[in-house]
Structure 1
Amino acid sequence: MTDTYTALVSRGWGRDVAKRLGLPQPVPLRRHDPAAPLLPGPALVIGEGASTEQLVSALEGWGVEVRRDAEAFAQSSRTEANGSGPRRLGAIVLMLDGVQHPRDLAGPVLAAGKALRSLAPCARVVTVSRRASVQDEPAVAAARQGVDGLLRSLAKELRAGATGNGVLLAEGVSADAPSVLGALRFLLSGRSAFVDGQFLTVGTAGGSLPADAERPLEGKVAVVTGAARGIGSSIARTLARDGARVVVVDVPAAGESLARVANDIHGTALQLDITKPDAGERILTHALSRHGGLDIVVHNAGITRDKLLANMDAARWDSVIAVNIAAQLQINEALLASDRFGEGARIISVASTSGIAGNRGQTNYAASKAGVIGMVRSTAARLASRGGTANAVAPGFIETEMTAKIPFATREIARRLNSLQQGGQPQDVAEAIAFLASDAAGGISGGVLRVCGQNMVGQ
């Protein structure tokens, strides 16, 4: 779906008019391009100690030019300036894993602040810090939790498509753990274009980095429900792009569209009503017989039947619960009961920001999507013994056929109610799911990653 306003105000006279009138000025976001470098400029790394050096080494191994002094970079960029102006930073990585007191935040955070005006369009700011715990001393917990507030606030200050996100390390997880590096690379890359003001928590040292960053799912078998169109189709195509063999699942009524997606990605199609009692067994049987295994399950299928609760009937309520959460629970039970659901398996469910902050007229939908979040937290513990993970992705306003039917004024308001002042694309949701499906995310489980441009609701 197109956003004509964003295209209009991102260049030329449209940009000038929007600036004079004080209108929102969203810019086209930097999304994944395999031919492009990881960052549009050097990365400024602020911090000291062994963990900082570990991340510097990783960045340099990815071909990133690393700078350590903001003032020195500003001086050199002016000296090296060409006709297009001074060089710009592609990212700021702020190492805060060693803070022990809120006073410790001032030095590195204010140093980062001085470098913000040197950021390139669609740059990244990423904090790396420790997760606060009730076992921490009060001063330590205060400092660590303080990173949450400062990062989310900073993300709302950034402009020109830049984003701010964080990586949280559990105790005992080192900065060079595979999932820390995997999360850092994802957040720096174009794959995280519509992820803003969010944290990825690395709870264990598990995971492994792929041999080929462009094919991280090579050799994996994935199933995607609700894959005939929209976000589901984009998920299937992205998993296939990243190397997975994909089974696409949807209701028989969508068979023609489903077959087209399967043919495009050289996968297989399974026409199935996921609410049927044998849906889990049929999915597993198809994956095993056609592809020899099953490693990744993406629960994307979902419906809406919106009504104010005062006008809600049992049919609307029950149908949404049946498709959006009860079917996932039933399928997961079948998968977890089988020893053929692969070692290191991944379950990723599509939740919604409605399940976090609620939405008028969506008590049934919000209950189902909040239920998804509770389900993955519990399922994560059950998968841990086989090295598996369960996570959820919560989209905000995404440009789909469904949102295109929203009345114009309502749609325009919804598009602008986030820090990036635009709607996301189905690809943005797919990129987040593909990352969580990878081995690099093996240390991330039971979490919810919002893909919402830092929507102004909830966290």
Structure 2
Amino acid sequence: MVDRYATFANSAAGKALVKRLGLPAPTTLRRHSPGDPLVTGPVLVDAAPGGRLAPVVRKLLGEAGVPLRDPVAAAVEAGASERPGRLAALIFDATGATASDQLRTLYDFFHAQARTLLPSGRVIVLGTAPENCAAPREAIAQRALEGLVRSIGKEFGRGSTAQLVYAAPDAPLESTLRFLLSGRSAYVSGQVIRIGSPVSAAPATTRPPAAAPSATGPATETEPAAGAESPVDWEKPLAGKVALVTGAAQGIGAAIARVLARDGARVIALDVPAAGEPLAALANEIRGEALQLDVTATDAPERLAGYLRDRHGRVDVVVHNAGITRDKTLGRMTAEQWDSVLDVNLTSQERINDAILELLPAGGRLIQVSSMNGIAGNRGQANYATSKAGVIGLVQVLAPTLAARGVTVNAVAPGFIETPMTARMPVPLREASRRLNSLSQGGLPIDVAETIAWFAAPGSSGVTGNVVRVCGQSLIGA
């Protein structure tokens, strides 16, 4: 679906008119393509006195080949030049801020560097989760970071994003840093992400791709020799993994299946029998498997568990994407419209989880697709909003239980995404939905898929219990 306003706004004549009239200015976002560098320029890492994470971040980025700018030289350059050297990202370690008067260090840093970001630049602030702080004043200072980060996301412009990452002392940071710095996070902004201790005992290493399933038994793998761990292949982090994606025939579900396959997974694409033709085409395209199944059928959980057990013996990544809408205001909604939406979007997922979670090994990933409507609600979608809020509840309830088994559970909450469904919206509502976010545009299905791939990555073992909005920092429900 073409966003004609965005196309005009990025033309020579459109840029001048948009600036003169103060209209929304949707910048063309930097999105990931295989082989792209992690960043498009140098990264500046600085810290409040006593910050514990800056040395770790500098080491990780240096090993990843990211050029780092010296903080002292960058501060001098920013203060002395009308056009300071441009940076791809600003990372500030605020874990040393243990009282509100120490937040001045963040002002000093971002005030000096506010004009240095390249288009589609990245801002990341690292902190300590308030509930994990040693003293009340520290907790207050760390909670204050949320207001700063969300304001930066709305101020810096030109496609830039800003995130707050609360990290435990032993949090595995690299997977999350790579996601947030890269073009994969193009439509994610203003988010608060918590990274705890690793929940998986399995090392974050790659495995050879799973063999194609045979008629005589499950797929087999060749495990590396004991003690011979391989470094993570960041282009194929899911090599050797088996991933299930429901509602995969089209739209966001198809994008999820493609991205997980791109990252090396053997993808089982599941959808209803009526979607059999596009489902088969997708499975052939990604060299995966097509499974026709109505997730609301009484025997669906047992049939799915049997399929996974017989063909693969396990499932490493489960993405519950299947969902429907049946929109009416609550007073006009029929019982069938209520029941069908709750059944597909929530109840069936609970029943399927009961049947297949035992097939998720340590290091497994359970990923749910919620919605901004599950956070903010929406007129005419009480059934849909209820189901998607329930999905968030599912994540919160299961996170501690599954962590004990080395399995993570997270959710994405998409905002306005350009799909055939949103293309059918009335034009005024569609245009308003596109512009009511900090990036002044709709997202793409791949933006949701990239966020799910980050959750699914072996290196994301400390990321659990999170609900991340893929909404361009929507003004609704923020």
Give TM-score, length-normalised by structure 1: 0.93
Give matches, 1:24-423, under 5 Å.
24-47=24-47, 49-69=51-71, 72=74, 75=77, 87-133=85-131, 136-170=134-168, 173-174=169-170, 177-178=171-172, 180-206=173-199, 209=204, 211-336=232-357, 338=358, 340-423=359-442
Which AA in structure 1 matches 2:110? A
Tell me the secondary structure at the aligned position of residue 362 of structure 2.
strand
Query: 1:93, 1:125 within 8 Å by CA — same for their partners in 2?
Result: yes
Tell me the secondary structure at the aligned position of residue 311 of structure 1.
coil
Counterpart-to-counterpart distance in 2, 1:130 and 1:50: 10
1:346-380 per-residue CA deviation (whole Å, 9 max, x = no partner) reads: 11010000000111111110000000000111122
Tell me the secondary structure at the aligned position of residue 120 of structure 1.
strand
Which AA in structure 1 matches 2:393? G
Which AA in structure 2 matches 1:365? Y
Deviation at 1:50, TM superposition (A): 4.8
Deviation at 1:301, TM superposition (A): 0.3
Determine the structure 1 residue equivalent to 2:209.
Answer: none
Query: 2:53, 2:126 within 8 Å by CA — same for their partners in 1?
Result: no
1:62-95 per-residue CA deviation (whole Å, 9 max, x = no partner) reads: 111111326636739999x9xxx86410000010
Deviation at 1:444, TM superposition (A): 1.2
Query: 1:70, 1:114 within 8 Å by CA — same for their partners in 2?
Result: no
Deviation at 1:450, TM superposition (A): 0.6
Counterpart-to-counterpart distance in 2, 1:203 and 1:299: 23
What is the root-mean-square deviation of aligned Cα atoms in Å? 2.0
> Aligned pair in 2 of structure 1 residues 236, 74: CA closer, same or farther (>3 Å)?
farther
Determine the structure 1 residue equivalent to 2:226.
Answer: none
Query: 1:419, 1:456 within 8 Å by CA — same for their partners in 2?
Result: yes
Give the % identical residues.
49
Which AA in structure 1 matches 2:99? H
Which AA in structure 2 matches 1:143? A
Counterpart-to-counterpart distance in 2, 1:244 and 1:130: 33
> Aligned pair in 2 of structure 1 residues 135, 46: CA closer, same or farther (>3 Å)?
closer
Query: 2:199, 2:407 within 8 Å by CA — same for their partners in 1?
Result: no
Counterpart-to-counterpart distance in 1, 2:98 and 2:468: 27
1:363-413 per-residue CA deviation (whole Å, 9 max, x = no partner) reads: 110000000000111122221222001111000000000000011111111
Determine the structure 1 residue equivalent to 2:20.
Answer: 20
Which AA in structure 2 matches 1:202? I
> Aligned pair in 2 of structure 1 residues 63, 9: CA closer, same or farther (>3 Å)?
same
Counterpart-to-counterpart distance in 2, 1:38 and 1:77: 28
Counterpart-to-counterpart distance in 1, 2:450 and 2:58: 25
Counterpart-to-counterpart distance in 2, 1:363 and 1:253: 27
Counterpart-to-counterpart distance in 2, 1:74 and 1:222: 49
Query: 2:78, 2:116 within 8 Å by CA — same for their partners in 1?
Result: no
Determine the structure 1 residue equivalent to 2:450.
Answer: 431
Give TM-score, length-normalised by structure 2: 0.90
Instruction: Please tell me whether residue 8 in structure 1 is matched to residue 8 in structure 2.
Output: yes
* Structure 2: 5+ residue stretches without partners: 206-231
Deviation at 1:286, TM superposition (A): 2.1
Query: 1:41, 1:87 within 8 Å by CA — same for their partners in 2?
Result: no
1:189-231 per-residue CA deviation (whole Å, 9 max, x = no partner) reads: 1110000000210122345555111111111000000000000
> Aligned pair in 2 of structure 1 residues 135, 45: CA closer, same or farther (>3 Å)?
closer
Count of matched residue pairs: 448
> Aligned pair in 2 of structure 1 residues 119, 282: CA closer, same or farther (>3 Å)?
same
Query: 2:257, 2:267 within 8 Å by CA — same for their partners in 1?
Result: yes
More displaced, 396-405 or 439-448? 439-448
> Aligned pair in 2 of structure 1 residues 5, 102: CA closer, same or farther (>3 Å)?
same
1:15-47 per-residue CA deviation (whole Å, 9 max, x = no partner) reads: 111111211111111111233221111111111
